[in-house]
Structure 1
Amino acid sequence: MRRWWTVRAGDAAFLLVGLPMALLGGAYALAALYAGVLLSLTVVGLPVTALALAGARELGRTHRWLTARLLDETVPAPRPAARPRGLAARIRAALTDTVAWRTLGYLLLRLPLGVLGLAALLLPAACGWLLGFPLWLRLLEQGPHPASPLDVAAPLLGVALLALAPPLIRLAADANRWLGRHLLGPARDQQRVQDLEAARHTLLTAGTERLRALERDLHDGTQARLVALAITLTLAEDTLTPATDPRLRSLLDRARSQTDETIAELRALTQGLRPTGLDAGLTEALPALAAGCAVPVDVRTDLPHRPDEPVEQALWYCAAELLTNISRHSGAHTATLTLTGTATRVRLTVHDDGRGTAGSIPGHGLHGLADRLAAVDGTLRISSPPGGPTTVTAELPLRL
């Protein structure tokens, strides 16, 4: 019985507060569809429909917030709307935006659900009127009222409706939860893509942290012990006398040389795990990287925001690979490295005046570079006609 009569305060508040929003949203959706159909044969039909869909997206944000605050149903936010360049491209993107169409359908269905919720909330008031039905008749007639079946039937009906009010309120709230969950959020395939992207970001971040810990352990542990071993061998060599067996001196020299080579290889390995120059960001790392190129490189950077660490590392490796190719294969005299960024994207462009003919051939460096960029939603474009020049552009999202 307690469960039957229990109603969440948030459910009742949503049905009450959400009624004006349901009426306004339903009217907006009906007006948008009517205007779209009416103007579909004119030039302004498509732009008006695209604008209405963009407005529906914004209304969906408010409904998601209200659903989360009152119904305790967190609806994942869909992807931001695409904003391609050009008016025609933006209209086409808005008309094919499934999120906007789903939100428009939500606004239409919220209209009858809002009326149903209002009816469920008004049931207790109707019950109170039915329970006092005989009293109302006596007050209206201003005198004795003869007994009738309505004197018994009306209060019984009021009690029955009062018993039905709580489950009806819960039913209306659950219907709004279901509607918001399936129409206000991303579609199932889009949600699957977002979940996979989030999992990939977690794996990349965790892998970066493990590499950083491994680099720190190798630098502070193994490398430090090897350096101590090299110092010990040097001290042992200094204690040798001219009468010492030449074979022992030769063995000590060989051991020290091998230790020095091992330290150099270990340093190269730790630098390959994670570029140490990235600690201060790409704007500081790229000029230092370009300074080691055999061809003079003009570095230009305009990066207002620092990218995510996996994106930053992918850009660094991309720049390192391209500059190495310029040094070894291009025959160029000058090169330019440009790094620019916006609020959502970052672009790296490397240009040289070499002989050209660079291409993404499977098994070669540029093909592997394209695969590395694809792992973080990046693209690689190569323009390298015979005789040059060569321009390679890598474009990645600023955030994963």
Structure 2
Amino acid sequence: MTEHGGEPAAERVERRRYLSVRGGEWAFAVVGLPFALLGGGYALAVLYAGALLSLTVVGLPFVVAALLGARRLGALHRWLAGRLLGEYVEAPAGLRRPAGVFARGRVVLTDPVAWRALLYLVLRLPLGVLGFTVAVALPLGCGWLVAFPLWVRAWDGARPAGWLDAASVVIGLVVLSAVPGAVRALSGVNRRLARLLLGPARTQQRVRELETARATLLADNTDQLRRLERDLHDGTQARLVALAITLTLAEDALVPPAGPDLGRLRTLMSRARGQTDDAITELRRLTRGIHPVALDGGLGEALPGLTATSPVPVTIRLDLGERPHPVVERVVYFCAAELLTNIAKHSGARSAELTVSTADGRVRLRVSDDGRGGAALGAGTGLTGLAERLAAVDGVLRVDSPPGGPTVIVAELPTRLR
């Protein structure tokens, strides 16, 4: 994300990673070899033996046991990638355990995680050998080339210096300088391979996302209902009770023994009118929190009114080619409101900018400010809640807020719900 003209944090991390090889990457290239040999040998043996036994009675039980073993080896490699490469892959869900041996065997045979782990073990075998060669054998070979003139003189002290001596030193140094880049490249391949094959299957990941989104929505709706109940009880109900008491007093003022007390009646009716106005205002405020009336005209009408109430001056830019789904509009509106509130409370900014656009079936909300920066997911500014609310409608939240600012937060979500 480069909207504010500075270098994004992700690119800075990649550049640092390019300029230096981490110790974990060297360790993975060295320590990973026995793991790669073990896993690759296991996978090849399983595939070979499974093909031979596929037509026998023990074929399917053997494959079931082999896939369970592949799952465990995949977990071991996932742990290794996390500890040494810093690639923490989410663990897949455990296998279902239906009743019956045949049902359980069918679950294992159709488990995409186990088959992908088996494929990972096969691919890790050549990568492990190549990584060890690059990290260990190649530097040793380069050292031998650089020291070649010394070895030759130690063997034959009378041998004159020649072009071969100079060439061996140059070749050794050139190849040695390429070793860190090769280690980095192989580490990148291993990271991508672990992400691709050792994590949850796409269907499992989607189920987890939907379960998390459902839990978030339920918790959010429960909190809103409790807040609405509290506001109705403490605010609107109290106003209506006061109004009822005022009207009762007015009724008493109409039928006293000496006749109606018009002055007192006028005072009570004026008070009742004010209490009615307060109750109506309170109800409007509550309904606006449930569904902002301004959204009836779409984001194009709602957002300018929202930015106009911000204590920090906000420049707004709208490019709404199509109107999103009402639920999506509501999420965008409340995200914009929360982000503008964060700017006013936490950023110390003097100005902000809000941009909303729709293109290719996506809504893009971008909010930036010139404040002190330092915002991050989970840092107590409500961004985690926003990310969860966006995830409930297949949206994502990206935060770029280096210390000292500026801060750029982008929310993207589909215009239509699936």
The answer to which of 88-97 and 159-168 deviates more is 159-168
What is the aligned counterpart of 1:126 among 141, 154, 178?
141
Distance apart, 1:234 and its partner CA: 5.4
Distance in 2, Cα, partners of 1:244 & 1:81: 84
The answer to which of 225-234 and 56-65 deviates more is 225-234
Q: 1:243 to 1:40 in 2, by over 3 A?
A: farther
Counterpart of 1:359? none
- Map 1:184-199 to 2 at 5 A: 184-199=198-213
Distance apart, 1:186 and its partner CA: 2.8
Distance apart, 1:93 and its partner CA: 0.5
What runs of 5+ residues in structure 1 fail to find an aligned partner? 260-265, 267-272, 274-374, 376-400
Counterpart of 1:24? 38
Counterpart of 2:190? 176
The code of the aligned residue for 1:204 comes to L
Q: Deviations over 1:218-252 (max 9, x none)?
A: 1222223333444555566677645667xx9xxx9
How many residues align structurally?
254
What is the aligned counterpart of 1:224 among 238, 242, 245?
238
SS in 2 for 1:13: helix
Q: Deviations over 1:98-122 (max 9, x none)?
A: 1110011001111110011101102
The 8 Å contact of residues 130 and 157 in structure 1, kept in 2 or not, is answered as yes
Distance apart, 1:131 and its partner CA: 0.5
Distance apart, 1:77 and its partner CA: 2.6
Q: Deviations over 1:138-195 (max 9, x none)?
A: 2234x32233443122112211210211111011111101111111123445434433
Q: Deviations over 1:358-386 (max 9, x none)?
A: xxxxxxxxxxxxxxxxx9xxxxxxxxxxx
What is the aligned counterpart of 2:159 among 145, 168, 173?
145
State the percentage of identical aligned residues.
61
What runs of 5+ residues in structure 2 fail to find an aligned partner? 1-14, 277-282, 284-289, 291-391, 393-418
Counterpart of 2:97? 83
Q: 1:66 to 1:5 in 2, by over 3 A?
A: same
Distance in 1, Cα, partners of 2:18 & 2:99: 56
The code of the aligned residue for 1:127 comes to C
Counterpart of 2:350? none
What is the aligned counterpart of 1:10 among 19, 24, 27?
24
Distance apart, 1:125 and its partner CA: 1.9
Q: 1:35 to 1:238 in 2, by over 3 A?
A: farther
SS in 2 for 1:195: helix
Distance in 2, Cα, partners of 1:237 & 1:199: 54
Distance in 2, Cα, partners of 1:150 & 1:67: 42
Distance in 2, Cα, partners of 1:108 & 1:2: 31
The 8 Å contact of residues 18 and 184 in structure 2, kept in 1 or not, is answered as no
SS in 2 for 1:79: coil
The 8 Å contact of residues 5 and 166 in structure 1, kept in 2 or not, is answered as no
Counterpart of 1:43? 57
The code of the aligned residue for 2:75 comes to R
TM-score by length of 2: 0.54
The 8 Å contact of residues 81 and 87 in structure 2, kept in 1 or not, is answered as yes
- Map 1:1-400 to 2 at 5 A: 6-122=20-136, 123-141=138-156, 143-233=157-247, 241=256
The code of the aligned residue for 1:44 comes to V
The answer to which of 93-102 and 212-221 deviates more is 212-221
Which structure would you say has the larger Rg?
A: 1
SS in 2 for 1:144: coil
- What RMSD in Å do the two structures reach over aligned CA positions? 3.4
The code of the aligned residue for 2:197 comes to L
Distance in 2, Cα, partners of 1:129 & 1:5: 26
The code of the aligned residue for 1:81 comes to L
